[in-house]
Every structure is written in structure tokens, then in C-alpha cells.
Structure 1
Amino acid sequence: MRILIIHTAFIGDIVLSTPLIRALKDKYSDCEITYVTTPAGASILRNNPNISEIIEYDKRGIHKGLKGIYELGKRLRYKNFNMVITPHRYLRSSFLSWLTRAPIRKGYNIATGSFFFTDKIPYINGEHEVLKLLRFVDEKVEKRYEIELYPDKENIKKIQNLLGNIENKKIILIAPGSKWFTKKWPLEYFNEVIKSLELREDIVQVIVGGQDELSLNIYKGKNVIDLRGKTSLLDMAQLAKLSTIILTNDSSPIHIGSAWKKPHIIAIFGPTVKKFGFFPWSTNSEVIEENNLECRPCSIHGGSKCPKGHFKCMMDIKPEKILEKIEATLKKEE
């Protein structure tokens, strides 16, 4: 059984597909799974023992335009897949599925280009993304499947070197970034939390983010380690594994952190809501949101500015509330 998964969405979406990979292996024990994804998606899936091959789909490079996607489709066709699963709901991915000429091509019924699929899977609004994805295996999967990420020895060694001797202190991982402005809890609020925790001797605060977050004017106190721009995605997965608390916006660290039981995830939701299905899969988590605003949700992805101009969905979540949650979690760990 040769199975292809086509998923070229955001990092969080790729992370959330790892339970699907495990469920496919459980159902088809001798199957070989190939995964087509973005270069970033490939980096977070690396070392997964249930994937036989990862193929990078570089839609801005060698696979750009109709010619690029056709060439990739031709390459995939030679592999003679028995089944293609396409969770990505955009035309390019649907068309690529058809180019494989696989006899079974599964995709969501609401996907653009769903006519390219032989089997249309219902997209259930309000259901967690992991449960949606498991519908590609069976209509109802009773077993709970976890998110699986696989940092290797190099990731472990690198994080040990970056953290240095922290004397068994508890790690609070802080991820202040997001691709979308309205998904970002105000930077001054993050800084207030960092300053308030600065004098605690039992913790170390670790700031993470990509190159885009380097421009953020984060407060750097005596117990703050700034690792922005210094970690790969699997490095960050290893950091999350070691953390006691993860404080993050509605962004990929929610899902990366959900791969581990230890960290308590505090996820701050502004323009988005849990009903979209992208809240933490971890049972050791909580979503902080302002529920008394009629304008929520305003967007599934967030935007470059608040449509109403007041940004209350984030501004009304005060640092004091987040500090209470952090202190309560640390007290449980004592």
C-alpha cells in the first residue's frame, strides 16, 4: 500500500497532521507513506519513523507556476500511489492530487477543486483539526492519537548548549510572534509579564521566534534567554518538551507544544476562536480569550489591523490575568 499525503499549509497544520500519519500506519501496517509539503513543513516532519519519504514542494522556487506543479505531478505519477490524501483545501493541491492518477484520491468536500477527488470527506465545522484529519482514515476513529515530533540528538545537544547551566530551573517558553498582527498579544503586555517574573529564582524565561520576531523590542532581564532566530522548528520542539509553561499567541507553538505532556500551554486567542478547530490538542492547556465581544471572531487567520479599530479582543486581556495563570501553574509544580 503506497499512500501519498499532500499538505502544503502553515507549520501548525503540518504538525496537526502527525496523528493522521500514525492512524494510517495503524490501519495499513505495511504501507509506505510519502508526504509532499513545504520546505518548512519538511523540516518539522524530519525523523518521523512512519514516513518513508518527504518531498519538498517549493511553490515559490522550482515548482512555481503551472509548469512546476505539472513536473512535480509527473514525478509523483511514476510512484504509482494507491491512495492520495489531500487535507490542504486549495486548488493547486487538489490539481496535484489529480496529476498523480492514483485510483483513490481523498480530499475535503469544501476544497477548491474537490471535483479532482474520488472520495470527498466531510469538513465538520467546530471539530478539532486533528479529528477532521482522522476522518481521512475512518468516519469515526475511537482511539485518541497524539501529535508526534522527533527532535534528534543534534537538536537535543544544541538546546543544551543554548540554555547552558540553568540549574534545574523551570522553563517558561514565551512565543510573542505571529504572521498576523491581530493574533499578537500586545508586546508591552508580554514585557510586563517578563518583568514581573524576573526576580523569581526558580524559573528561566526563554523567548523564541523566527527572523521576523527579531525586530520585537523584548525586555531582556537577568533570567531571560533570547533564542529568537537561533532555533530550527525541531529545536523549538525540544525546547517545548523541556518547558513547564508555554505562553503563546494563536500560532504554531500551540501545536508544537501539544506534542508533549509536560508543558502547560497558555494560548491567547484574539480574533480567532476555538470553534475554528485550531486550539491546543494537549489536554494540559487552556485558551485565554475575551468572550464578551460581538465582533469575535473577525477572521480565521487574523489580519493586519483590527476591523473595529479598538483591538479589545487582545487589549482587554491584561497581563495580570496571564500572570495569575502562570503563578497557579508554577505553584502546582512545587
Structure 2
Amino acid sequence: MRLKMRGEVRKVLLIRMSELGDIILTTPVIRGLKTRFPGARIDYLTKVQFKEVLSLHPLVRKVIGFDSKEGILGLVRLIQDLREERYDLIVDLHINPRSILVRYFSGAWMMRSYRKYSMERRILKWFRINLLKDGGSVVERYFSALEDFGVSANGAGPELYISQADKQKARAIIEQAGLSGRRLIGLVPGSRRRNKIWPLERFARAGEELAKEFDAGVVILGGEGEQEIAEGVYDRLKQAGIERVVNVSGKLSIMESSAVIGELELVISNDTALMHIATAVGAPVVAIFGPTTREMGFFPYSQNALVVERKGLKCRPCSLHGGDRCPKEHFKCMLEIEPEEVVEAGKRLLSGKND
């Protein structure tokens, strides 16, 4: 049932401070808000390092960047600035102490937050009692903030808007690597959390087999701190005779990496932000999941994605977001995934048979 409002919604502030993948997954909510309130102005509050991700979004009037290094005084100044905007509705899609303070002290006459399932996720992790069988993707959970406005997820995935300059740079990188005019496969072998990393030699084997079968070029991507793993995959591919390969891990901005991913026919990725970016730019994705499971809500939100995981392990999930080590010290969730499984999933997507 739709809520009867006491006034018109003219200005909306949507809050998601971090992380990159989570911000990408909020973009369907932006569409839903604009559909429900077509005349409203939508602003977005996030950490300053993620402003560029939404800077070209046509439905977002202003992206507000908060620098957490400014501490409590910076937060106070932010709240003062937001009060001057006189927002009608604030939608908190983060729910941490900072976003709660912003929500309650920014002067909006309506505030909404989403169903985060924090306790249910911890019960699943600690006691293996699954109360999240119908929890859905975190995208659908975000929409719970808007259910009394009659706004719900329609199944459409996230989206990302990339500048022409970034697209041109991506094409130049591909051309300089001698990969123009070829089918391109992307590998994302790193992760900020070490127990989410599928062994690099298996990544290399999967990339090698797909490159040979489809006569494809290979692009290796990743963020800062992931260069060593990326170099290891690159070296193994070269040793296997794969000459058409380029490693751009740690060398590009978020949006430049996104532009490169937009040129690929397939992305094989650990559970990372680049996996979500791939779905947002329409690239088919093979996602490799280990310590986390579907119930946590972060599987790729796309009809053109396949997840490879080791089902049936009683120790999964062992964490909410991944960690630095396997608590059981056997790492079965990743070591029991063979390259052949990933290759088969990649073949299905490259052949258009992902049902």
C-alpha cells in the first residue's frame, strides 16, 4: 500500500558512503526513485573517492563527496550544508553511525532506510541457520526502503555512465596491446580480501584455455595492491604461449577500468567491485565465490552472469564480506573449484548459452 504523503517530494538525498561495489548496486534505486517522483531532484552522498562513479549519471543532479579524513568537524559541516538544502526525503542505503547522524540531523521531513538483515546474516555465519532463503539480492533489499511508496525492483541491473574520454583511452589501450578487432576476455584475479582470491595459477589456466579456444585476447584488471597477483597471472599466460595479453591492474582509475571492461566479451572475476562494474556495463560475468554465499546478497545482479562455487561445504559462509585467511585453514571453498568449471561457465556465456 502506498503511503499518503503530507507534501510533495521535490528533493531527495540518497546515501551510500562506500564501498564501490555497494554504490554500483544502488543505481537501480535511483531509477526507481525517479520513476516514482519524476519531478524530484535527486542528490547522492558518498565518500569523496567514489564521486566519479556517479558524476555522469543523468538522473543525479549533484554528487556530494564526504572526506572521512575530516573527522567529526567535517561531518558537522556536512550536516549543516545538507540542512540548507531542505531535503524532503533522505534514503539511507548504508546504515552506519555516520549515515544515521546525517539522516536524523539533516532536517528532512521523511527518512527511510533499508532492511539490512544484519542479524540474519550473522546467524547464518555463526550457527548455519539460514533465515535468508527469500532475502534476495542486496539490490532488492535496498528497495525495501521505498516499499511504502510503491517502488520495487523490476529486475533490471545496475548501470554506469562512462565519459567519451575514458572510452577512448580504453580503446587506445586495447589497440596499443595489439588486441583490436579480437574477442576479449577479462581476468580479475585479485581482491582486497585474501580469502576471496582463487589461486592465480588456476586463473591463468582458465584464461589460457578460453583464449586458445576462442582465439581471444586477454586483459588483466585489478586495483591498487593487486598488481603482484596480476603479474603472476600475466607471467603464466606468457609462459603458456598466450601472446595477446595485457596487464592494466593498478594502472587505471575506476572509470578507466570500467571503460576497458565495457570492451570485453567476458569477465572472469573473484567477488570484487570490478565484478559489479562488469554487470553495470553489460559485460557477461563468471564470478568465483568462496567464503561468502548467495544469501549475503552480493552475487552479480545480472541475467548474463554465472557463479561458480563449491556448494555443500558446511563451513560456508565463514564471513560476511571475506577476510584475510580461511578460519579452517583448508581453503576448500576455493581449492575445490577447478579451472575446468570456470572454463565451462565461460564457454556458455561466450556462446550465449547461460540458461
Q: TM-score, normalised by structure 2?
A: 0.84
Structure 1 residues 276, 142: CA separation in 2 closer, same or farther (over 3 Å shift)?
closer
SS where residue 84 of structure 1 aligns? strand
Name the SS for the 2:218 alignment partner.
strand
Q: Matches of residues 37-186 of structure 1 in structure 2 within 5 Å?
A: 37-59=46-68, 61-62=69-70, 64=71, 66-108=72-114, 126-139=135-148, 141=152, 143-164=154-175, 165-186=178-199
Q: What secondary structure is seen at the aligned counterpart in 2 of 1:36?
A: strand
Q: Deviations over 1:46-103 (max 9, x none)?
A: 20011111111111x22x1x22211111111111111111110211110111120211
Q: Which has the higher helix share?
A: 2
Shift of 1:2: 0.7
Q: 2:203 aligns to what SS in structure 1?
A: helix
More displaced, 214-223 or 203-212?
Answer: 214-223
After alignment, is 93-102 or 143-152 more displaced?
A: 143-152
Q: 2:302 aligns with which of 268, 271, 282?
A: 282
Deviation at 1:258, TM superposition (A): 1.2
- Specify which of 190, 195, 212 is matched with residue 203 of structure 2: 190
The runs of 5 or more residues in structure 1 that have no matched partner are 113-122
Query: Superposition pairs for residues 285-296 of structure 1, below 5 Å?
Result: 285-296=305-316
| Distance 1:191-1:111 versus aligned 2 partners, 3 A rule | closer
Identical counterparts, % of pairs: 30
Contact 2:306 2:345 (C-alpha < 8 Å) held by counterparts = no
Contact 1:6 1:36 in 2 (8 A): yes
The one of 249, 269, 281 equivalent to 1:248 is 269
Change (3 A) 1:277 1:303: same
TM-superposition CA deviations, 1:129-176 (whole Å, max 9, x none): 111112223356263333121111101110011111424211111111
Q: Partner letter of residue 93 of structure 2?
A: P
> What TM-score comes out, normalization by structure 1 length?
0.89
Q: Output one character per residue of 1:238-278: Cα deviation in whole Å (capped at 9) or x when no partner.
A: 222221111001111221111244x3210000000011111
Contact 1:86 1:97 in 2 (8 A): yes
The number of aligned residues is: 319
Letter in 2 for 1:104: M
The question of 1:24 aligning with 2:33 is answered yes
Q: Which sections of structure 2, spanning at least 5 residues, go unmatched?
A: 1-9, 119-131
